[in-house]
Chains A and B, each alone.
Chain A
């Protein structure tokens, strides 16, 4: 087991990251007083916490986990206690800061092993414990020997950078400490790893049964409905499938170098993307019969979905939407909306990579607007294009009310799955409800005492 910490500069300089051609380190330079978005610790948490059979111990003061435990609706079929939805922290005190928190940390690990019998313990460093220099590697090594369990130090303290970097560091930790440490009981020609799919609100389950039906085996995931025992065997997969996650390309590139596993990147959002996604996997696995079966299956699923969506056709006919979100959602939600028959007249690309912008441009066509400054542009575009629906974060609610049009919170997907074929039905139902809801017009009513 290599104990050297990952080289952050190397991770930032990721060669297989397309959007990083022009900005070698700029992905990691927040501006004081003008920064939004989470830190590396949060990114690591998002990537690893879905392992529900492992304990996630945060070595730091109270802000890190006090704000964030039980916030991610990642679902699991693990029969034991769902450790994802628990918060473990050493809650370091002034005393620990002065005299080191190492002893407390190893006692905390012992406590967790004794009381919760996890399959592994992920130990996260944070700004304070990284600064005081607590030796996580050593403590994890000693604990692993003592308990005979994988103990994974995760070196993603918040101050090293963004969520994206934290995800990479999490991938790095998994590669160093878990992948390749166990052999699968058997292998098949169609074994894949799902990377960056966290099964939020059960998104993965919207399509995983289709993979089963096609005979494609999910050998392991990072980390939706994941198992520690499985990710340890990930080096035997035939293909890495990255699901909507740019942050983990470093991991898959290294797995290609070390284990010769090729990787593909795709999305399961909306009808077209789900079909494309399944076909891309089949093609990458390179089996003619599998490709034929996949074509048949996607045709069947699309037909089934179309039948179920038929009642919504009239609701969405002629409806126009403005979409204000970021990252891959700028095109993936666009695709889903178009599948429902809604015209997307504008989408925000301020917080999207070059690659995402290109995709958004393709989906929107030449008449659609890519908004670089959505806060200022969206109100005008709603008027100019005659939009009926604004999909955005909560902050934009007032814009919709002022314009008297329907509003849908793009973050609703954190409570309900919009993924795969059937997720589109959830989206359709929610948007129908939004369009039919009188609230957006009524709350804008003038008060009796106003001019």
Chain B
């Protein structure tokens, strides 16, 4: 592994890629069917978050705000604004769940949202997610943990046929679906928590975005304590597993750092085969593995001569870096939004916690960028190539159907990167 710098020394962020904790919490609640995410804070946090996701997914986004004002901030401990919010939301719609999550404002003044939640006679899950702590991944993971702690009913028996997938935040809707299907192919009933694959996958329905339209159902969450096996993907999801095992210590657990590339997918396959006692997976899985092998060989020549900058969330970086490494792509620089134990394991020469100003400063270290749409301006300024991944991607449509995981997605991902690198060299030569 390469050099890892865990802390930035700058007094500010310039052209940030870091995203806030409450935004991660919002997205997690959008993976619960019929949910109304309720952000506790000033109205702007909600409005900006709504626009942000609407542009990324090209979908209407359900979310409400407790609309804390300066006067209320001084006088109210959240009792008034949260209780009023719930009342006003229920006047118009009937959510299956209200997903209360905080921003920095109420946390700074010390609102006791746990106490307020206890007063509310409506299905509600609360999570403390101030934006002056943590980041995008932790907001999602804390919410997932809160859903487990506050909804799942304890059990003693397990159903060996039932598997729970805990995906990290950077997995796009189709990727979650592909992982669920992969596991289901071995004969399991699979649920994902949260599940964006049925809510933000961009399906045409009669939706006005009054509530999240799809995702795991609240009843299904309540009954999660009887899963035989939980599969977590991404370092950020580890705490959720512990929370679930407290509901039923008989639940077994397998952790995957990521599910990109040949080795990681092999490991998942091996686990599932041993679970069911089969000697071989389904023919389509075998075929896709052969296609990935071929894709690695077809793309290795281009990738082998390319230096990559990968910028994004730690759990996302882990998969991308590994996948590129397997076909010879050299990740010379990885920029993480926040610190994480994951950074020590990245297949990259130089790993820093930073922003796109750092990317600009270290421009000599790489040729092709893999990162969000804010990298676009950088590629133009510096004459680099770009493969857009991560949040946000406002410049392209179809983000919800991007798939980089497992054998199938791995093949497409390598081709896309190899072609982008070849195109860049063509531009530079001419």
Contact = CB atoms under 8 A, between A and B. Distances in A.
Interface of A: 28-42, 57, 60-71, 85-94, 96-97, 104-105, 107-108, 111-112, 127-128, 130-132, 157-162, 375, 394-395, 398, 401, 443
5 contacts: A64-B44, A87-B14, A97-B132, A111-B10, A375-B208
Contacts of B21: 62
B44 A38 contact: yes
Interface in B56-113: 58, 60, 64-70, 72-73, 80-82, 84-89, 91-92, 103-105, 108-109
B66 A33 contact: yes
Nearest to A105: B11
A35 B44 contact: no
A62 B207 contact: no
Contacts of B14: 86-88
B266 to A, nearest CB: 36
B133 interface: yes
Contacts of B133: 93-94
Contact of A158 (B45, B60, B86): B45
Interface string B295-337: 0000000000000000000000000000000000000000000
Given A57-B12, A63-B23, A68-B48, A32 B42 contact: no
Scoring A91, A92, A107, A375 by chain B CB atoms within 10 A of each residue's CB, the highest score goes to A91
A41 B44 contact: yes
Interface of B: 10-16, 18-23, 38, 41-49, 51-52, 54, 58, 60, 64-70, 72-73, 80-82, 84-89, 91-92, 103-105, 108-109, 130-133, 135, 204, 206-209, 374, 377, 394
A61 B43 CA distance: 15
A96 B87 contact: no
A63 B45 contact: yes
A445 to B, nearest CB: 11
Contacts of A90: 11-13
A63 B207 contact: no
A62 B43 contact: no
Contact of B67 (A30, A89, A105, A128): A30
A32 B90 CA distance: 12
A63 B48 contact: yes
Contacts of A86: 14-15
B87 A128 contact: no
A92 B18 CA distance: 12
Nearest to A443: B204
B15 A42 contact: no
A63 B20 contact: yes
B51 A67 contact: yes
The 3 A-B pairs with the shortest beta carbon distances in the complex, nearest first, are: A39-B44, A33-B85, A158-B42
Contacts of B67: 30-33, 35
Contacts of B104: 60-61, 63, 92, 97, 127-128
Given A33-B66, A41-B44, A127-B41, A395 B209 contact: yes
A381 B208 CA distance: 18
Contacts of A68: 48, 52
Contacts of A64: 44-45, 48
Nearest to A86: B15
Contact of A92 (B42, B58, B81, B132): B132
A67 B82 CA distance: 24
A157 B43 CA distance: 11
B88 A158 contact: no
A90 B206 CA distance: 42
Given A63-B45, A66-B18, A159-B42, A30 B92 contact: no
B16 A65 contact: yes
Given A85-B377, A111-B10, A132-B108, 20 more contacts: A31-B67, A32-B85, A33-B38, A34-B85, A37-B47, A61-B20, A62-B132, A64-B48, A66-B18, A69-B16, A69-B374, A70-B377, A90-B11, A91-B12, A92-B132, A94-B130, A127-B42, A128-B131, A394-B54, A398-B204
